[in-house]
């Protein structure tokens, strides 16, 4: 029986990574968990990111996954080493997006790399650390907290989006390579292309993440478990909203979304009940 690959994100953005993973591994099954009910993670304290990501990884293992790809740059920057130390074994692995992003940037740069991401991603300094392991180059990281909400509201092609992108790009100074360090930002590609000088390389790490996963599976064949290309979606938020927004990020209809609720510190399948009026605990 094939084991699906788990893909973890704080919400919708990781679907841009899932899209590339499916292109690279079309015969593998995937289970995507978007913690949209507790998103965004980018402004959360690090301890909260650790707690939430533990629950998500444990749920994906419970769904039969043996390999989990952390598609969220915030979780990968803050919690990946913790998740690997806690859950990694001969039969279970957790991989992230930060090292592939650093590798991709170093391969493209002429010496001056910029990254835009969430406040928590930037505060961690993990991307700079990984780049410096590979090359002695300048790295400038800046938080861009307005961009993800702009994308989720569907404002990618508006003057508001273009103005915000220009403002954030201007804070990076003289760079030759810009890394989109949040999985929402690929939906703003046109705005970024309009804001950047033509000599600046714009990088979405997702295709490189997929390429590196293919290579990793070739080197770890016991985790390569092709199936039928089946997709399942789990969400801690409104399943209908997840399906609606998810189609924009994934580039195809999402279909059924299974709801998860937090019970006793764990994420479990549940029936979603929308409370109305005053609540008494």
What average pLDDT does this structure show over 151-174?
97
Residue 218, classified by CB atoms within 10 Å of its CB into exposed (0-12), middle (13-18) or buried (19+), is exposed
Please say if the pLDDT value at position 281 is more than 80: no
* Residue 247 near residue 59 (C-beta atoms within 8 A): no
Rounded to an integer, the average pLDDT of 187-196 is: 98
8-39 tens-digit pLDDT: 999 999 999 999 999 999 999 999 999 999 98
Judged against a pLDDT cut of 90, whether residue 43 lies above it is answered with no
The pLDDT tens digits for 64-81 are: 999 999 999 999 999 999
Mean pLDDT throughout 189-206? 97
Instruction: State the pLDDT confidence band at 1, using cuts at 50, 70 and 90.
Output: low
Catalytic residue (one of 56, 65, 104, 182): 182
| Alpha-carbon gap, residue 93 to 208, rounded angstroms | 19
Tens-place pLDDT, residues 225-268: 999 999 999 999 999 999 999 999 999 999 999 999 999 999 99
Active site residue 65: no
pLDDT at 2: 84
Neighbours of 269 (CB within 10 A): 13
pLDDT > 70? residue 118: yes
**pLDDT of res. 39:** 87
For the chain, percent of residues with pLDDT exceeding 90: 93
Q: Which residue has the higher pLDDT, 86 or 2?
A: 86
pLDDT at position 98, please? 97
Domain 98-204: top CATH class: alpha beta
d(Cα 4, Cα 258) in Å, to the nearest integer? 16
Report, as an integer, the average pLDDT of 41-59: 95
- The Cα–Cα gap between 254 and 267 comes to 21
**Beta partners for residue 94, in sequence order:** 68
Residues present in the chain in total = 281
Q: Which of 12, 10, 76, 18 is nearest to 231 (CA)?
A: 18
Q: Which of 56, 65, 72, 104 is catalytic?
A: 72
* CA distance to 19, 38, 158, 200, 224, per residue, from 194 (Å): 24, 32, 12, 11, 40
Half-sphere exposure of 67 (CA within 13 A, CB side): 21
Q: Where in the chain is the domain with CATH 3.40.50.1860?
A: 5-97+208-268, 98-204
Kindly state the DSSP code that residue 187 receives in the 8-state scheme.
G
Decide which of 3.40.640.10, 3.40.50.1860, 3.40.50.10310, 3.40.50.11810 is the CATH code for 5-97+208-268: 3.40.50.1860
Q: Rounded CA gap, 4 and 64, in Å? A: 7
């Amino acid at each position: 029986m094939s084991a699906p690959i788990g893909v973890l994100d704080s919400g919708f953005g990781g679907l841009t990574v899932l899209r590339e993973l499916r292109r690279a591994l079309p015969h593998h099954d995937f289970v995507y968990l978007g913690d949209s009910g507790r998103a965004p993670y980018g402004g959360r304290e690090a301890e909260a990111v650790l707690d939430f990501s533990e629950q998500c990884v444990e749920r994906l293992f419970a769904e039969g996954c043996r390999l989990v790809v952390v598609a969220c740059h915030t979780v990968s920057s803050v919690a990946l080493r913790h998740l690997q130390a806690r859950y990694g074994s001969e039969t279970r692995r957790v991989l992230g997006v930060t090292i592939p992003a650093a590798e991709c940037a170093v391969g493209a740069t002429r010496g001056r790399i910029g990254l835009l991401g969430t406040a928590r991603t930037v505060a961690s300094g993990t991307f700079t650390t990984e780049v410096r392991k590979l090359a002695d180059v300048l790295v400038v990281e800046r938080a861009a907290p307005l961009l993800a909400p702009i994308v989720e509201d569907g404002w990618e092609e508006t003057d508001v989006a273009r103005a915000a992108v220009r403002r954030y790009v201007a804070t990076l100074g003289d760079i030759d390579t810009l890394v989109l360090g949040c999985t929402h930002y690929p939906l703003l590609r046109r705005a970024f292309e309009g804001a950047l000088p033509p000599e600046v390389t714009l990088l979405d790490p997702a295709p490189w993440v997929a390429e590196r996963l293919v290579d990793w599976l070739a080197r770890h064949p016991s985790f390569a478990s092709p199936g039928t290309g089946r997709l399942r979606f789990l969400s801690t938020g409104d399943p209908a909203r997840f399906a609606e927004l998810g189609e924009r990020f994934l580039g195809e209809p999402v279909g059924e979304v299974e709801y998860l609720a937090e019970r006793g510190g764990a994420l479990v399948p549940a029936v979603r009940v929308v409370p109305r009026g005053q609540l008494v605990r």
